[in-house]
């Protein structure tokens, strides 16, 4: 009798302890709390919508700065210290770097594959490695040619269909207005150059049992030599893009066109408002007009970081954020890029004429570009270092030290060296 009484008392104490912590019967004292770090403008609207419609899981948004030295530095520190957020904005090129730090949760364990058909396949694959899924795709940046229709008409030009046409148009613009240029090669923005190499058919990286690196390949050398030629002939500017001086040149009609991403529309509208109605969008110039290809600049995912106490709920928020039509329209209004969700363009906020572009349904051009992006492109874990190497080489070239094409060999060697220092196995093409 006494032993039974002791057992009952012990059991009662366990039940009371569990109830006191709110987990004995699965009940909680409040909603699940998630933290999300992002730099996307306007994403707070989507987060607020989730919080209103999902009272059991509340998301706290911390808006961090974009870039290697901004949000990413903070994220890596958080992952290493075990104090990072539940979710974070991670660009496609940065996913392998986070994986090298074992910083991302494999969402396969929480059933993410049942959502795969909701996303554009090539963007979904950006987060796939060795059978795991480490990110929910959010948006990309298909590219096209933004151009000043009024100035092209003034100079007697049509949007260039090929890169040869682009060079001819560049010469005409300089001849008509010696202070104007068709565009700029931004030396400290090598992601723009990478996109153009991608369009030309380059495949810099591969990931199987070993990593492959092939930066100094024929397609990329062709692109670099092309821009070297335009630079030497003074047919383009070499000012940095998407900065104050460039915005002024765009506003003043001294930069007449821009090979840019879909999310660049918000930059033009916000920084050159007095040019409204003068812009149009055309497909990117082609290397081979018989085989249309497009480029992609940018693209982000929503990833669950190592250490999250609620990975299932975090994954469900990431999927909702990037597939719910109301959320997508809020993100579009903020200028987040081209949706990764499949079949949402028609009827979305993108699918309409725009007065800034003279009433053109300009996003039809980007929709077509999105269908012509080479989907085989991959990134490496040391992309951040590679970007620094390219930026340094291109900047040196515009100041008289070397060439764009010459930078490629240096970048190839540096990328291989950096990866091997990380303990990664790398294969390279034969010496040419």
Instruction: Name the token pair of 430.
Output: 């034969």
Q: What is the mean pLDDT of residues 261-269?
A: 94
Banded model confidence at residue 24, pLDDT cuts 50, 70, 90: very low
Beta strands across the sheet bearing 205-207: 205-207, 211-213, 426-427
- The pLDDT, as a whole number, for residue 27 is 59
Instruction: Name the token pair of 106.
Output: 């494999």
As to burial, measured by CB atoms within 10 angstroms (0-12 exposed, 13-18 middle, 19+ buried), residue 209 is: exposed
- The pLDDT, as a whole number, for residue 70 is 66
Give the dihedral sign, CA 160/165/170/176: negative
- The pLDDT, as a whole number, for residue 289 is 92
Question: How far is Cα 188 from Cα 394, in angstroms, rounded to an integer?
Answer: 7
Name the H helices within 302-403: 311-323, 325-334, 363-370, 383-398
Instruction: Name the token pair of 156.
Output: 């007697």
Q: How does DSSP classify residue 113?
A: G
Going by C-alpha positions, the residue among 261, 220, 200 that lies closest to residue 393 is 220
In this predicted structure, the answer to whether residue 74 has a pLDDT above a threshold of 90 is no
Average pLDDT, the chain: 91
> At which residue do the structure tokens 């066109």 appear?
257
User: Strand ranges (DSSP E) for 108-173?
Assistant: 128-129, 132-133, 136-148
pLDDT in tens, 131-141: 899 999 999 99
Paired residues of 341 in beta bridges: 119
- The pLDDT, as a whole number, for residue 431 is 59
pLDDT in tens, 42-63: 899 999 999 999 999 999 999 9
- In order of their start, the domains of the chain are 20-140+298-339 (3.40.190.10), 143-294+381-427 (3.40.190.10)
In this predicted structure, the answer to whether residue 157 has a pLDDT above a threshold of 70 is yes
Name the H helices within 252-310: 264-271
pLDDT in tens, 172-185: 999 999 999 999 99
Dihedral (Cα; 137, 344, 120, 259), 10-degree rounding = -80
Paired residues of 181 in beta bridges: 255
Question: How far is Cα 249 from Cα 267, in angstroms, rounded to an integer?
Answer: 13
- The pLDDT, as a whole number, for residue 79 is 84
Alpha carbon of 54 to those of 88, 138, 302, 353: distances in Å?
Answer: 19, 20, 18, 34
Q: What is the mean pLDDT of residues 104-112?
A: 97
- The pLDDT, as a whole number, for residue 10 is 45
Instruction: Check residues 347 and 18 and name the one with the higher pLDDT.
Output: 347
Task: Give the β-pairing of 296-304 and 136-148.
Answer: antiparallel
Alpha carbon of 165 to those of 137, 172, 382: distances in Å?
Answer: 35, 11, 36
């Amino acid at each position: 009798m006494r032993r039974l009484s002791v057992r009952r008392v012990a059991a009662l104490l366990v039940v009371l302890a569990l109830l006191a912590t709110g987990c004995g019967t699965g009940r909680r004292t409040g909603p699940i709390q998630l933290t999300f770090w992002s730099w996307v403008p306007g994403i707070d609207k989507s987060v607020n919508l989730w919080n209103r419609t999902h009272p059991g899981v509340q998301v706290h948004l911390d808006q961090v700065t974009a870039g290697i030295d901004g949000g990413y530095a903070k994220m890596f520190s958080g992952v290493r210290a075990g104090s990072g957020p539940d979710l974070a904005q991670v660009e496609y090129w940065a996913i392998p770097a986070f994986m090298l730090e074992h910083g991302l949760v494999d969402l396969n364990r929480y059933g993410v594959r049942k959502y795969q058909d909701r996303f554009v396949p090539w963007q979904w694959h950006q987060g796939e490695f060795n059978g795991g899924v480490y990110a929910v795709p959010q948006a990309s940046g298909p590219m096209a040619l933004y151009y000043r229709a009024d100035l092209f008409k003034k100079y007697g030009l049509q949007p260039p269909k090929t890169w040869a046409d682009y060079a001819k148009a560049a010469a005409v613009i300089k001849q008509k207005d010696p202070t104007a240029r068709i565009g700029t090669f931004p030396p400290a923005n090598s992601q723009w150059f990478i996109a153009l190499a991608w369009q030309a058919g380059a495949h810099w990286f591969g990931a199987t049992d070993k990593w492959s690196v092939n930066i100094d390949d024929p397609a990329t050398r062709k692109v670099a030599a092309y821009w070297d030629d335009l630079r030497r002939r003074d047919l383009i500017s070499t000012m940095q893009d998407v900065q104050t001086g460039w915005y002024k040149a765009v506003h003043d009609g001294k930069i007449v066109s821009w090979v840019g991403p879909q999310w660049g529309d918000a930059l033009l509208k916000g920084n050159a408002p007095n040019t409204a109605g003068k812009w149009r969008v055309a497909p990117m110039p082609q290397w081979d007009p018989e085989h249309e290809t497009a480029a992609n600049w940018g693209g982000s995912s929503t990833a669950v970081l190592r250490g999250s106490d609620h990975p299932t709920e975090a994954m469900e928020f990431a999927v909702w954020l990037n597939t719910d039509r109301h959320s997508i329209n809020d993100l579009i209004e903020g200028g987040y890029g081209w949706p990764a969700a499949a079949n949402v363009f028609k009827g979305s906020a993108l699918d309409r004429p725009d007065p800034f572009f003279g009433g053109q349904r300009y996003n039809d051009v980007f929709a077509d570009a999105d269908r012509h992006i080479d989907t085989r492109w991959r990134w490496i874990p040391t992309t951040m270092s590679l970007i620094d190497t390219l930026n340094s080489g291109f900047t040196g070239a515009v100041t008289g030290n070397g060439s764009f094409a010459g930078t490629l060999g240096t970048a190839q060697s540096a990328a291989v060296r950096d990866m091997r220092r990380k303990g990664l196995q790398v294969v390279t093409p034969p010496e040419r």
